[in-house]
């Protein structure tokens, strides 16, 4: 296999992984709000080839995905909640958890509403 065909195959595979759905995540509906995760993608690759008595080629590549922010949409209001570098995505989600729980609780029917059904 030639270096060119290996490079082409590797780039195609990385391109498939790094599609727009990876950068702008699936929207999450929570009551009247929609939360959209936003990530940054970094890619790198390298390859080497040698032709003497036979052709030898080798390649490698990598992909890194870092969450950077959440978009919170409610009606016409849009807020960007950035994830600070010193703070992990899980830490940011933990900080948002009380607000998300409050949103969910506000939109759940009360016991009296359930009994009326």
For 22-56, how does the pLDDT look when each residue is reduced to its tens digit (9 = 90+)? Answer: 778 888 898 889 999 998 888 777 777 777 777 77
- Does a structural domain hold residue 9? yes
- Does a structural domain hold residue 115? no
- Does a structural domain hold residue 100? yes
Long-range CB contacts (< 8 A, 24+ apart) of 108-116? none
- Does a structural domain hold residue 93? yes
Higher pLDDT, 13 or 69: 69
- Per the CB < 8 A criterion, the answer to whether 59 and 12 are in contact is no
Residue 101 in tokens: 């729980």
- Does a structural domain hold residue 117? no
CA distance 24 to 69: 10
- Does a structural domain hold residue 116? no
Task: Specify the pLDDT at position 34.
Answer: 92
- Does a structural domain hold residue 13? yes
Q: Is the backbone of residue 11 left (phi > 0), alpha (psi -120 to 50) or beta? A: alpha
* Token pair 């699936």: residue: 26
Question: For strand 33-51 and strand 77-82, is the pairing parallel, antiparallel, or unpaired?
Answer: unpaired
> What is the number of structural domains in the chain?
1
């Amino acid at each position: 296999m030639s270096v060119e065909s290996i490079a082409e195959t590797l780039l195609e595979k990385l391109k498939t992984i790094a599609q727009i759905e990876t950068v702008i995540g699936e929207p999450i509906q929570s009551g009247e709000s929609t939360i959209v995760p936003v990530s940054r993608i970094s890619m790198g690759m390298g390859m080497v080839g040698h032709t003497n008595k036979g052709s030898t080629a080798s390649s490698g590549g990598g992909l890194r995905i870092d969450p950077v922010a959440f978009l919170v949409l409610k009606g016409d209001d849009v807020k960007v909640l950035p994830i600070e570098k010193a703070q992990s995505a899980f830490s940011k989600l933990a900080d948002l958890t009380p607000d998300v729980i409050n949103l969910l609780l506000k939109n759940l029917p009360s016991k009296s509403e359930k009994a009326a059904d």
